Structures are given as C-alpha cells and as structure tokens.
Amino acid sequence: MRINLASIFVTDQVQALEFYTTTLGFEKKTEIPMGDVSWLTVVSPEDPDGVELVLEPAGHRAVGPFRDALVADGIPFTSFAVADVQAEYDRLTGLGVVFTQPPTAMGPVTTAVFDDTCGNLIQIAAMNEGA
C-alpha cells in the first residue's frame, strides 16, 4: 500500500493552479472538467509519477470553519519537503510569497510556513545535517 493522492482545499482552482505551478514549481498532472470545477492535480517535477496533490474545491460547508481555525492558530494544512529551507524561503520571498514563520530550527528539522494565497498555511521542512 502507498499514498497515491493527497488533497488540499482551495478557494479558486485557477488561482491555485497558477500559484502551485508558476510560484511553487509543481507541474499540472491531471485536469478533468466536472461542471463548474475540475479534478485537478499537480505533482513534483522531481517525481512526476509520485504522489499527486489534488487542488480540491473548498465548497463544502465544513471546509471554511476548519481552515479558518487552522490559520487562526498558525497551523499548516500540510508540509512539503525541500532540500534547503533557507534557500527556498529566499526564492519564494523573492516571488512575493508571504511567510508567517521564517526558517526556524526545531531540533532535527528546519521549517518555515507560508500562505498559499488559496486559504491555507503550508509548511516547508528539511532535515538538518547530522540529524
């Protein structure tokens, strides 16, 4: 058994696709129109046959309160692995991404948290050398 799909709720799939591909660097894998929304996934260019991230419409009534509570408490919805948190922080900040937590060493990992412009906080993380 392996993880095939992971979902993130987004307020606008077009905006989300733009942010997740142009800014973050993921690649669109699947887009199947389904009325007003699409089955829309992106993947890492480092692993195009790996786990797909579903850019899931946030229309369900439970999504808004759930995401609002996470953001209010500063809790990331998910985490992406990067090789170097500081380098990725610098790259993304240069592209206008807003971080709610700068790179912070936390024992064996360094993390940073940013706003994905789609209603979510996202963490990036890397293991520290020697950890």
Say which CATH topology domain 5-127 has.
2,3-Dihydroxybiphenyl 1,2-Dioxygenase; domain 1 (3.10.180)
122 class by beta-carbon count within 10 Å (0-12 exposed, 13-18 middle, 19+ buried): buried
In this structure, what token pair is assigned to residue 115? Answer: 């706003």
CA angle 100, 103, 109 (to 5 degrees): 120
Q: Is the dihedral of CA 27, 120, 128, 109 positive or negative?
A: negative
d(CA 15, CA 85): 24
By residue count, the chain amounts to: 131
Output the pTM of the full model.
0.94
Please spell the DSSP secondary structure of 55-116, one letter per residue. Answer: EEE--STTHHHHHHHHHHTT--SEEEE-S-HHHHHHHHHHTTPPEEEEEEEETTEEEEEEE-
Under the banding of pLDDT at 50, 70 and 90, the label for residue 131 is low
- pLDDT tens-digit series, residues 68-121: 999 999 999 999 999 999 999 999 999 999 999 999 999 999 999 999 999 999
- Residue-wise pLDDT for 27-54, tens only, equals 999 999 999 999 999 999 999 999 999 9
